[in-house]
Structure 1
């Protein structure tokens, strides 16, 4: 049995000098590689032909970066060499080493992708292209540029996981050497690293890289806090040296006694993980007891459980602190047994038990499949790609449904949450979901069709709401219905990026379909006012050619559907489009139909909006909305305002807000009227002034309910308690007659002094 010294895995010494310029690492202190000779020493695992290709790539990169210097004053080529060295530590192939050496060549040196393909082949050129940021001149803001470049990189990663491995090596070296940068740049890059790149490293199982990126980011974001905590850790290390030695001796003797071969090493939590635990528990440093632990590596999987038995016989376990990540691995492939025991001095000590292969994956994640050739008969790249396949697939799904780069980045950030819960399907399949996930997240994780049509859920055999929070071990069953559709309210509680993007995608499509139908109706009515019918897309034989191609060129739209959507959203005015159609038809020799012309313009005068009539029945969806200022209901006189890109907004005819809009933009108004039989109830606002006494809220709710109306919102305001109180309600009613009945019922209550509808 070999027992390594505890100091081998501890953090480096405290910060020297001012904490603004930290030198923080985790594990062993990195050795800086600045020359190709240093890099070549690490490439012994490559063949001669591959080594020659790498040397050629170095010469090419050296020539491309000639005359360029880093902020530290070093020649720029030292950075690509250092990145290639980190990639070589993972034993990646020659193409990845070459791409690492040339990863800035396209972005900073004007080298084209075609040139790289001709010199080094398409695979290497694709890797470099995936690492190249998009031209910032194409974007109005840095955030937009960064989001689009990040999306490009992740999509390249979904095709080849080596892209993100090289990018993580690039970011790690930049973080190690960031002291020479301006303070504002350091803080921005550190925050981006902590929010995005460290979680990606964790998601891909590169825990050593993950810990170092976190630690470096924390040191640059909060340098004084990091320095204070690091000094506290150093003091605590001295205080606890006796207990560390005592535990190591006891554990070593226990394994010798049981004739087991095991390698025991001490490990200390990073300063950032201690800081995060202090914040989560709202505790001081003294209350965080488990700042150190032990790792036990055994030869075979069965011996992991035997080692667990040895430890539990040696010290008493802390109830509820045992986790079996071997039976149920983490989503990033991590496997270990975790147990927390009470040491002889009464402090809690965590132990991690794993095999050598599990340890390789735990530290290097996907990269371990090159580093240790796990499954030696397989291509390590293929194995690694499969390991990240589920997350990569979710990225592609999100990309397919999210055209906005910032929204894509938001979804990816949600999916990078490291904490997970493990739940079961009714057929005992295990799914890993982020903490706080709901049955809706579960449904979309199974299949998008299941998510789109889910109506209810059962958790452990009992009926549950769709917003219930899932816990590890829950057996979840989703109930679906063919006619069910995603609910916009789900966006308030779903946690996975996949579920969020699927719901948003469906709602956007639904809005576009409704806007297209509204646009078709509006254009048809505007054409009728011109004495015309909607022109056919493909005219019959003998008829003049379709005017649609010319109309689309005039409007700037690509398709007929796109033009109708723009009309429905208010981006184009139906009347103007109709007049253009009339002009085109006149040029073809067609004349308006006199009967239709008289019918279409019947009743119009100079004070009436020029566009055709739109009937409102409550089933229009997102393309038609009721103004929140006046909240019209059936029976009110109404008018429609065609907002720019917002669809049709319906106001009451006497609404002061609507009148001001009409004065400013009269050409965007159109006639609307209620359908004879609306399909749903409508919300309107009322105020109730009442005597302040016990139970008045219940009395008001009872009165509204007895009038067969529903209360959707109540606001009592922030007024001090007095003899009277004013309550503002949103009530759902069928029409004006129903509202009058509700107000009469309220006024009959002796505690109610006044009840009336709110007018803007």
Structure 2
């Protein structure tokens, strides 16, 4: 079963992977049992949890945890896991994992109680009364929305996901408990049916693994990866495990020799350090074999060692000592101490050529760095109100969690929120600098415009241009490690719908969509009303909708008003043809169930609409496609893009053809209006002889033809006999363009001129 990241993100974080069946059970004991209270057989982890909590909790906190355990045990009375264990063993195991991170009493109590609201219908008010508001809030954040009716299962799952992430943004302990919950469920997945194992493992790999990595929980991250791999591909897992076991014995001599040499070298440098081997995880081996097309023996030729020293300076001293012992491989050194990873990870990484020509990987770090590398945000889980007291790792995590709240404020629905956040769960990071040398971490593939929005939403909204490494560059330019990025803003600038085609981060995408929905609301309402009116007319329905039908329509579409419904149509969020067919069904069958009236997709609804008239100055709700830049005289077609309104393409546009094949229901007929009192951008290529003055002659002739030049570029190869000049010019229509091209073609040195419909990188765009 192959789950895409999008599929898994929609369906994950909501599944129950420990089904239970009723069976008689005796309430268990915890810590010091009350006299006469029998001990639950088979729950051995109670004593282990007690021992772990006693190491760092006060007697008063232990008493509170005991009360939470008793209540949970009572509520889960009669529940059994598929494995046959009493259900209470699961909350205890989750609490034990949280105790390894030394979470506080409130978190441990929430871990013990995390299923009582969902399974036993315990109300939040009761938890507040018994255990306090903070514990109740944690449990509520971990519980699904069981009692709310949603239009679809996808919507319900997306809303549950949003609920948990927002609870996590307010209190990071929510996700720590959730990850502990999923880890124990993965450890005990053996009793499930194979198809359910694969589904849960797929969700874990696509959702929980990246969340654990994003928060720097490397131990959990690696274990969840291997557990998921073992259930997704059990035969491959067993084969690799067997091969690794054999290889470990065969290569023990090489590893021992490297270990001994490194220890002796560090001792001779009078440095106290712990040196130990670092074995690759089975999934890490499998992923490297697949991605780089390597054999098993080639992957295992890279040995790993970790060196833990006592202070920051010794990290670099140890690095120099190792480079004197073995030769470093060029391009294989990374300094994650000076520039930590997005999740707070710090270490020096270097690859050396060891004995027998074997590549050897070393990680060098301090004890504190090692603790953070293994436990991530759980090493400093407690948030303080004063941001000045936060550690660097806390500040990074706090900034990411805060961005979730920012996206929530700008997002219309749970599915859209999910779409924005899922991008940030897979951040293969790139590190860039502000002009003042501040480091900004962004997901790989992020553009200069993403950088602007990462600084502040207002900066992104007002961006007009950018300089990368002190040179002008397009806003769509993908950033690379080490780039110095400067943003140029203007108070009069506003976001363009075309920005949505190249921004990478959830924060930028949600901010742009929020602006398009609110600032340009009147344009979207006007376009939506026009499209709906045409769709109703095509069905011989009056555009004035009866009051009872209107009330029912708004209720069933979750729209608060007719204007909101029109706006949704205008930005492409709803299809006018489907809404019109829905209205017809309401008029005809008010007594019939909703499902019988609106079954099917927009592909099933064929309604011939009158063409929408395009004047070229229709505002943000109607945009001309940058891929083909249609001008009056071109045959055109319209695409209703989600949250971008109506995008107008030339009928000859290759991009339009591809999209129309995929989503034919989103395309409508459009025609040019009359009295177009404006000019339109158009791209042309001029092939000229590479001689002095040719550019000036061409530019002058374009001006003489009453066309305005907005962009000019040329080939970088100045030694070529021929060169291409590329212009973006503003013309009135195809007749004006043809006249200009005819005049330019007559210039001495011009070999050819043609209209270009592909898209260029324009520094002003």
TM-score, length basis structure 2:
0.68
Q: Is the 8 A contact 1:147 1:405 kept in 2?
A: yes
Q: Show structure 1 runs of 5+ residues with no match.
A: 1-31, 525-548, 577-608, 653-668, 684-704, 711-730, 749-760
Q: 1:553 to 1:123 in 2, by over 3 A?
A: same
How many residues of Structure 1 are paired with residues of Structure 2 in the alignment? Answer: 600
2:362 corresponding residue in structure 1 = 351
Residues 131-174 of structure 1 show CA distances to partners (whole Å, capped at 9, x for unaligned) of 00112762344433222111111100111110000000001001
Q: Does 1:485 align with 2:484?
A: no
Within 5 Å, which residues of 2 pair with 1:35-46?
Answer: 35-44=45-54, 45-46=56-57
Residues 551-572 of structure 1 show CA distances to partners (whole Å, capped at 9, x for unaligned) of 9979957568547747968999
Q: Is the 8 A contact 1:266 1:294 kept in 2?
A: yes
Q: Does 1:388 align with 2:387?
A: no
Q: Does 1:405 align with 2:406?
A: no
CA separation in 1, counterparts of 2:244 and 2:741? 68
CA separation in 1, counterparts of 2:235 and 2:643? 49
2:246 corresponding residue in structure 1 = 235
Residues 281-338 of structure 1 show CA distances to partners (whole Å, capped at 9, x for unaligned) of 2222222255531111111111111211221121111121111111111121111111
- What is the DSSP-based 3-state SS (H/G/I as helix, E as strand, rest coil) of the residue aligned with 2:420? helix
Q: Is the 8 A contact 1:635 1:674 kept in 2?
A: no
Q: Does 1:197 align with 2:195?
A: no
How much has 1:674 moved relative to structure 2?
A: 2.9
CA separation in 1, counterparts of 2:172 and 2:649? 54
| Structure 2 residue corresponding to 1:298, chosen from 309, 312, 329 | 309
How much has 1:514 moved relative to structure 2?
A: 1.0
| Structure 1 residue corresponding to 2:446, chosen from 425, 437, 440 | 437
2:122 corresponding residue in structure 1 = 111
Q: 1:561 to 1:404 in 2, by over 3 A?
A: closer
| Structure 2 residue corresponding to 1:515, chosen from 524, 531, 535 | 524
Q: Does 1:474 align with 2:473?
A: no
- What is the DSSP-based 3-state SS (H/G/I as helix, E as strand, rest coil) of the residue aligned with 2:435? coil
Q: 1:374 to 1:364 in 2, by over 3 A?
A: farther
Q: Is the 8 A contact 2:497 2:644 kept in 1?
A: no
Q: What CA RMSD, in Å, does the superposition of the two structures yield over aligned residues?
A: 4.7
CA separation in 1, counterparts of 2:290 and 2:614? 53
- What is the DSSP-based 3-state SS (H/G/I as helix, E as strand, rest coil) of the residue aligned with 2:320? helix
- What is the DSSP-based 3-state SS (H/G/I as helix, E as strand, rest coil) of the residue aligned with 2:99? helix
Q: 1:162 to 1:207 in 2, by over 3 A?
A: same
2:264 corresponding residue in structure 1 = 253
Q: 1:282 to 1:522 in 2, by over 3 A?
A: closer
2:678 corresponding residue in structure 1 = 679
Q: 1:68 to 1:682 in 2, by over 3 A?
A: same
CA separation in 2, counterparts of 1:640 and 1:473? 41
Q: 1:72 to 1:380 in 2, by over 3 A?
A: farther
CA separation in 2, counterparts of 1:435 and 1:453? 23
- What is the DSSP-based 3-state SS (H/G/I as helix, E as strand, rest coil) of the residue aligned with 2:332? coil
Q: Is the 8 A contact 1:160 1:385 kept in 2?
A: no
CA separation in 1, counterparts of 2:646 and 2:331? 57
Q: Which moved more, 1:121-130 or 1:235-244?
A: 235-244
Q: 1:459 to 1:564 in 2, by over 3 A?
A: closer
1:415 corresponding residue in structure 2 = 424
Q: 1:86 to 1:647 in 2, by over 3 A?
A: closer
How much has 1:506 moved relative to structure 2?
A: 2.6
TM-score, length basis structure 1:
0.69
User: Over alpha carbons, which structure has the higher Rg?
Assistant: 1
Q: Show structure 2 runs of 5+ residues with no match.
A: 1-41, 534-546, 581-607, 651-667, 683-701, 709-728, 747-765
Residues 600-657 of structure 1 show CA distances to partners (whole Å, capped at 9, x for unaligned) of xxxxxxxxx9x9x998522224545899xxx9986899999999999899999xxxxx
Q: Is the 8 A contact 2:262 2:322 kept in 1?
A: yes
1:702 corresponding residue in structure 2 = none
How much has 1:406 moved relative to structure 2?
A: 2.6
CA separation in 2, counterparts of 1:434 and 1:337? 21
Q: 1:211 to 1:517 in 2, by over 3 A?
A: same
1:451 corresponding residue in structure 2 = 460
Within 5 Å, which residues of 2 pair with 1:170-185?
Answer: 170-185=181-196
| Structure 2 residue corresponding to 1:427, chosen from 433, 436, 441 | 436
Residues 382-439 of structure 1 show CA distances to partners (whole Å, capped at 9, x for unaligned) of 9975451111111112212222323322322211224212111110001111222221
- What is the DSSP-based 3-state SS (H/G/I as helix, E as strand, rest coil) of the residue aligned with 2:284? helix
How much has 1:83 moved relative to structure 2?
A: 0.2
Q: Is the 8 A contact 1:34 1:82 kept in 2?
A: no
